[in-house]
Structure 1
Amino acid sequence: MNPFPMVLADLRALRWTAPAIMLLVALAIATGVAIGAQERALRRGSAAAANDFDLIIGAPGSQTQLLMSAVYVQPDALPLIDGRLINALVQDERVRHVAPIAFGDVSRGYPIIGTTADFAARWGRITPSEGRLFAAQGEAVLGADVLYRLGDRIAPSHGVTGHGAKPGQADAEEDRHRHAGEGYVAVGRLPRLGSPWDRAILVPIESVWDIHGLGNGHAGEGGADAPFWHQGVAGAPQRPAERLGPPFDGQRVPGVPAIVVKPKSVAGAYALRAQYRQGGTMAFFPAEVLVSLYGALGDVRDILVVASASNAVLILASVVLVMVAVNSLRRRRYGTLRALGAPRSFVLLVTWLGAAVPIAAGCALGLGLGVAATQALSGLVEARTGLSLSASLGWGEFGQAAGLCLLGSVIALVPALISARRPVIASLRG
């Protein structure tokens, strides 16, 4: 005998009960799926953003804070290290590339980061999608998501700790801390990197030093009392193109919050890390900090997944109780089938499918809702952090949905066995 016509009739008779069961199961599945997929996407996105930062050197303090400032462009008030260390690293035979990183200024909510043209191009890995790299003080290169256009004048403001304007929008706080008479001209734009640096404005580090009256680290150029002329700014005097980047030969080399080092070899990287973990400096690989952060993130994920799974089990138990009550109301129908010659197995199959089908449909729907929730969460995280997140379902999410579907199918046997084992006479009398 074909049980499906009767199963479909039973489901139609449930009206809103069956869809409600499907939705509850789907929400439980979607929660666990979104948690797992989003955590995995966050790991991949944050690790990719740190790929160009082999070794970071800074002043002793919190490695996590320095990592968030230098790699993920979350500027904070950090102690400075002696700028002369840049020259020492340039001359070190274990070092392939060196780039200072300086931050603190903003413009329309975008952080202005002082560095070198070599690092802006990621040491030759990328080229500007528009224009060119900066070649003189007063020039700037835009990240892919910065709303300035080439040729625009960029007015810097001193950043305020704890205050951050929405990217692309200036506010009164920023206007109050603007560097009067100073500015940059956008000469290029970088391609999309999929990192918070897409929202940064990159300028020569000499400009950052000079605009704060610290000189520019080069002999005979700039100084605390020297004017900071900006090439390309309408009406501003032009001065000859100066040399940019290390080595710096000024009497005074201003300090920097961080230095990014690209070693020539793995052995050299570990030797540099050991050397600069003493003598008033701190050195670390971003990966070692990320591992500890991922560990904490994984613990939170595990707690949320367990809570989600527990919630799903409670929902499945509630579904079983509902089906027990529904089957009790249908006992005369099943008793009539038995009296007409239907075997116990047929009643068992009909009642089991009546509970298992909504559960299975809810699990399938939950995977779809999980994908939608993951995409929505990824969009929120990208808007908040600038990280490029590529979220997708993995075998873990499919396994979770399949496991809950299997558990629900097993639990659905409880009301089915109760209905199949009920005596015919007792069912008809009821």
Structure 2
Amino acid sequence: MFRFIAADLKRNLAGAAIVALIIALATALGVAVTLQERALRLGSARAASAFDLVIGAPGSETQLVLSSVFLQAAPLPLVPGTVLSGLARDPRVAWAAPIGFGDFAGDSPIVGTTAELVAGMGGVSEGQVFSKLGEALVGALADHKIGDAITPLHGRLGEGGHAHAEARYTVVGRLKPTGTPWDHAVLVPIEAVWAIHEHHDEDEEEHEGAEHHEEEEHEHHLDFSRPIDPAALSAPEAPGLPAILVKPKTFADAYKLRMEYRTDRTLAVFPGEVLTRLYGTLGDARRVLTAVAAGAQGLVAASILLVVVVHILQRRRQIGALRAFGAPRGVVFSIVFLETFAVIGVGVLAGFGLGWLAARSISSILTEESGIAMPVVFTAEDWLAALALLAATVVIAAIPSALAYRQSPAEALRG
């Protein structure tokens, strides 16, 4: 029987391959949607897990998290610098680190912060932590090497940005991998960011009101050779900050701090809470796409069933000949069932493979653009879905098999 099935499939190889490919593409659509949505959820959750609490000025909670945790540059209102000094003295806080951004090194965002954040993210894999204003750390996947000199750019050159020619950073260390956008970032002392932009503002004041101004490169440079002064962070005249990342000592402290800093002057959020709301939106989109994929699979299944039934009707004389030569009804049923199940089953399994490859490709592109590692993994839910599709295949394959089973050999031969 199996030799007969193999010979029959070989004779109709082109048609069987086309049917299997159509089924595979329809299955892959649903699988890719499910895997990609899960990868985005897992990747963003892991990226946010390193930061328990984010404090900034009142405004959009979503933008605060996207800018501070995922380094999606956007103008944020500034929280007073005195908030940082208050958090540093708070016994409920393990560490509090400011972040300031707006500058770039190529495509890598430059983030002004402190050594506390470096330690909180796992420390360095090589080199050392910055100790002077002109020193920088690079993320695990950044293109820069230890010893490289970096000239910060305000914004991106292709988007109207300009170079801070008066400033130079020297790379002194590399961060350990985190699987987050911080792997592509350049970390510098927050005091250096303040000094650069204060210097830039002074230059603009000098040229204000001039009738004619030619582009020139400043011959004087900022003094970045001096050591970092921790007292500058707690000084009353400390500049405002876009955001402060906070590590509470306990779970209870985190909720107390969040409640205490949700005022008309400050905003405190848990990144996980913001992501949960975003996941709700993603879930809605996933349900729509899953419904579209299910509809496509249903149409394909109906079309394949119609094709198989027509194919069986066209082979009535062959089936009648098998019966006339003494093949039992059960054998005829098994031949038709196994052929149909093999073609559709191969399409379903190939669809899971194609869906996985598609999700991996999309995740690779998104990881390259965002820096968020997105794991594409199958779960028990996916294997249950595969079993459900194979069970549906059994039902579909049984319909033409039943038609062949009930067929009378005499009528088939006469026809």
* TM-score above 0.5: yes
* Native 8 Å contact 1:140 1:187 kept in 2: yes
- CA distance, structure 1, for counterparts of residue 321 and residue 191 of structure 2: 91
Q: Could you tell me which residue of structure 2 aligns to residue 241 of structure 1?
A: 227
- CA distance, structure 2, for counterparts of residue 268 and residue 354 of structure 1: 64
Q: Could you tell me which residue of structure 2 aligns to residue 128 of structure 1?
A: 124
Report the more deviating stretch, 308-317 or 132-141.
308-317
Aligned match of 2:60 in 36, 43, 62? 62
What number of residue pairs does the alignment pair up? Answer: 398
- CA distance, structure 1, for counterparts of residue 98 and residue 231 of structure 2: 9
- CA distance, structure 1, for counterparts of residue 53 and residue 90 of structure 2: 14
Q: Could you tell me which residue of structure 1 aligns to residue 214 of structure 2?
A: none
Aligned match of 2:398 in 392, 413, 422? 413
Structure 1 position 305, deviation (Å)? 2.1
Q: Could you tell me which residue of structure 2 aligns to residue 85 of structure 1?
A: 83
- CA distance, structure 1, for counterparts of residue 224 and residue 90 of structure 2: 33
The answer to whether 1:150 aligns with 2:146 is yes
Q: Which runs of 5+ in 2 are unaligned?
A: 207-219
Amino acid corresponding to residue 129 of structure 2 in structure 1:
L
Structure 1 position 227, deviation (Å)? 6.9
* Structure 1 pair 397–211 and aligned structure 2 pair: CA distance change class (3 A): same
- CA distance, structure 2, for counterparts of residue 314 and residue 206 of structure 1: 62
- CA distance, structure 1, for counterparts of residue 239 and residue 175 of structure 2: 27
Q: Deviations over 1:134-192 (max 9, x none)?
A: 10111111111221222221111111xxxx5xxxxxx4546x51123212111111121
Question: Matched residue of 2:364: which SS?
Answer: helix
- CA distance, structure 2, for counterparts of residue 257 and residue 18 of structure 1: 61
- CA distance, structure 1, for counterparts of residue 228 and residue 181 of structure 2: 30
- CA distance, structure 1, for counterparts of residue 359 and residue 158 of structure 2: 36
Question: Matched residue of 1:253: which SS?
Answer: coil
* Structure 1 pair 424–245 and aligned structure 2 pair: CA distance change class (3 A): farther
* Native 8 Å contact 1:111 1:201 kept in 2: yes
Question: Matched residue of 2:198: which SS?
Answer: coil
- CA distance, structure 2, for counterparts of residue 40 and residue 173 of structure 1: 33
Q: Could you tell me which residue of structure 2 aligns to residue 331 of structure 1?
A: 316
Report 1:29-48 matches (<5 A): 29-48=27-46
* Native 8 Å contact 2:77 2:242 kept in 1: yes
- CA distance, structure 2, for counterparts of residue 229 and residue 247 of structure 1: 18
Q: Could you tell me which residue of structure 1 aligns to residue 246 of structure 2?
A: 261
* Structure 1 pair 92–6 and aligned structure 2 pair: CA distance change class (3 A): same
Structure 1 position 245, deviation (Å)? 6.5
TM-score, L = length of structure 2? 0.91
The answer to whether 1:362 aligns with 2:344 is no
Amino acid corresponding to residue 319 of structure 2 in structure 1:
Y
* Native 8 Å contact 2:166 2:221 kept in 1: no
Amino acid corresponding to residue 126 of structure 2 in structure 1:
E
* Structure 1 pair 279–339 and aligned structure 2 pair: CA distance change class (3 A): same
Q: Could you tell me which residue of structure 1 aligns to residue 102 of structure 2?
A: 104
Amino acid corresponding to residue 36 of structure 2 in structure 1:
Q
**What fraction of aligned residue pairs are identical, expressed as a percent?**
42
Q: Could you tell me which residue of structure 1 aligns to residue 20 of structure 2?
A: 22
Amino acid corresponding to residue 289 of structure 1 in structure 2:
V
* Structure 1 pair 327–208 and aligned structure 2 pair: CA distance change class (3 A): same
* Native 8 Å contact 2:19 2:304 kept in 1: yes
Q: Could you tell me which residue of structure 1 aligns to residue 185 of structure 2?
A: 200
- CA distance, structure 1, for counterparts of residue 312 and residue 224 of structure 2: 82
Structure 1 position 362, deviation (Å)? 1.4
The structure whose residues are more often helix, as a share, is 2
Structure 1 position 203, deviation (Å)? 0.5
Q: Deviations over 1:364-414 (max 9, x none)?
A: 222222222222122111111111122121122222222112112201222
Structure 1 position 121, deviation (Å)? 2.3
Q: Could you tell me which residue of structure 2 aligns to residue 219 of structure 1?
A: none
Amino acid corresponding to residue 191 of structure 1 in structure 2:
K
- CA distance, structure 1, for counterparts of residue 275 and residue 250 of structure 2: 21
* Native 8 Å contact 2:98 2:190 kept in 1: yes
- CA distance, structure 2, for counterparts of residue 327 and residue 182 of structure 1: 78
Structure 1 position 247, deviation (Å)? 4.6
- CA distance, structure 2, for counterparts of residue 198 and residue 69 of structure 1: 15
Question: Matched residue of 2:252: which SS?
Answer: helix
Q: Could you tell me which residue of structure 2 aligns to residue 381 of structure 1?
A: 366
Structure 1 position 84, deviation (Å)? 0.9
Coordinate RMSD, CA, aligned: 2.1
Question: Matched residue of 1:147: which SS?
Answer: coil
- CA distance, structure 1, for counterparts of residue 380 and residue 232 of structure 2: 49
Structure 1 position 359, deviation (Å)? 0.8
Structure 1 position 28, deviation (Å)? 2.0
- CA distance, structure 2, for counterparts of residue 5 and residue 190 of structure 1: 61
* Structure 1 pair 140–427 and aligned structure 2 pair: CA distance change class (3 A): same
Question: Matched residue of 1:372: which SS?
Answer: helix
* Structure 1 pair 245–31 and aligned structure 2 pair: CA distance change class (3 A): farther
Q: Could you tell me which residue of structure 2 aligns to residue 116 of structure 1?
A: 114
Amino acid corresponding to residue 197 of structure 2 in structure 1:
H
Amino acid corresponding to residue 28 of structure 2 in structure 1:
A
Report the more deviating stretch, 269-278 or 391-400.
391-400
* Native 8 Å contact 1:30 1:369 kept in 2: yes
Q: Deviations over 1:291-348 (max 9, x none)?
A: 1111211222222222222222221221111111111221101111222332222222
Q: Deviations over 1:98-127 (max 9, x none)?
A: 1111111112121110000110222xx623
Report 1:266-281 matches (<5 A): 266-281=251-266
